[in-house]
């Protein structure tokens, strides 16, 4: 259903998948994932009269493999702001999954004029993550965050076996789509994915020109958000949303029954219904 497009911006020409006509919804994917995973959700949004645009994260498409000098979350949020501005002079609706949830949250905090409505999926917004590492069990589930910091080891272990384990653990019963395996078969893509995680600890991967915005982007956004989580998510368990602070008044947390981390694939009907209600 998707067509491939390129979104020219002053920051980068972003390859993207797009479908439908009508008010635009911009969707940002996560790890280890591909824009195509938004397909089932996109088909339902398109049927409801929306145009869905799903850009590839910087460094996650062959045309941008060499464009990931900085890999911090603020860089990705600045990219999202540029995409929104290129697509419309008006604020746009944004949905972010996993890493894309951080993109959406920081975009709403740092560039609120570019955003109309926000939905995050499977990762709490940045300002709600402050205490997540206090839980030893959650640290275990985040083993890959730490493993990815080890040169050589990370490059060797980020392979199809690990990706299959992540998907199987994070969304029980869900098979890894072949397009994900194909995407991560490329060593350049895997190196860029590792950069995103190493930027959590390596300040040399942060864009110094965005440093001042960093004081804003981690604060609670003033735009209400719909925060979605899967009841069976094996990456970030639903109890981590119980005390979700850092959300603007009017925000809502919804736990989707019988869904795992990839809830847009696990339960596309339920997620589409929640999304369409929120975006109205």
Convert the pLDDT of each residue in 141-162 to its tens digit.
999 999 999 999 999 999 999 9
- Judge whether residue 67 has pLDDT over 70: yes
Q: Residue written as tokens 């960093």?
A: 214
Distance in angstroms (rounded) separating the CA atoms of residues 74 and 206: 8
- Judge whether residue 83 has pLDDT over 80: yes
pLDDT value, residue 202: 97
- Judge whether residue 245 has pLDDT over 70: no
C-alpha dihedral sign at 218, 264, 11, 92: negative
**Mean pLDDT of the 73-96 span:** 98
The model's pTM: 0.97
Distance in angstroms (rounded) separating the CA atoms of residues 184 and 166: 13
State whether residue 91 is helix, strand or coil.
coil
Tell me the fold of 3-279. Rossmann fold (3.40.50)
Domain boundaries, the chain: 3-279
Give a three-class secondary structure readout of 177-222.
Answer: CHHHHHHHCCHHHHHHHHHHHHCCCCHHHCCHHHCCCHHHHCCCCC
């Amino acid at each position: 259903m998707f067509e491939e497009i390129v979104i020219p911006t002053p920051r980068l020409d972003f390859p993207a998948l797009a479908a439908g006509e009508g008010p635009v919804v911009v969707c940002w994917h996560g790890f280890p994932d591909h824009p195509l995973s938004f397909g089932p959700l996109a088909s339902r949004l398109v049927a409801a009269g929306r145009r869905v645009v799903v850009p590839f994260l910087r460094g996650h498409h062959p045309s941008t493999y060499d464009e990931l000098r900085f890999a911090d979350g603020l860089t990705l949020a600045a990219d999202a702001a540029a995409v929104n501005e290129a697509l419309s002079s008006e604020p746009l609706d944004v949905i972010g999954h996993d890493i894309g949830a951080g993109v959406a949250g920081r975009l709403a905090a740092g560039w609120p004029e570019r955003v109309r409505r926000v939905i995050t999926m499977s990762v709490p917004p940045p300002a709600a993550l402050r205490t997540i590492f206090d839980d030893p069990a959650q640290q275990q589930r985040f083993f890959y965050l730490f493993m990815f910091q080890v040169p050589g080891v990370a490059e060797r272990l980020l392979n199809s076996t690990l990706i299959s384990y992540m998907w199987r653990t994070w969304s029980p019963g869900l098979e890894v789509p072949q397009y994900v395996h194909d995407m991560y078969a490329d060593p350049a893509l895997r190196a860029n994915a590792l950069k995103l995680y190493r930027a959590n600890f390596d300040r040399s991967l942060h864009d110094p020109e965005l440093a001042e915005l960093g004081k804003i982007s981690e604060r609670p956004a003033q735009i209400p958000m719909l925060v979605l989580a899967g009841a069976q998510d094996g990456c970030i368990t639903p109890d981590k949303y119980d005390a979700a602070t850092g959300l603007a008044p009017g925000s809502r947390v919804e736990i989707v029954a019988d869904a795992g981390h990839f809830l847009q694939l696990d339960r596309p009907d339920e997620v589409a219904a929640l999304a369409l209600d929120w975006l109205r």
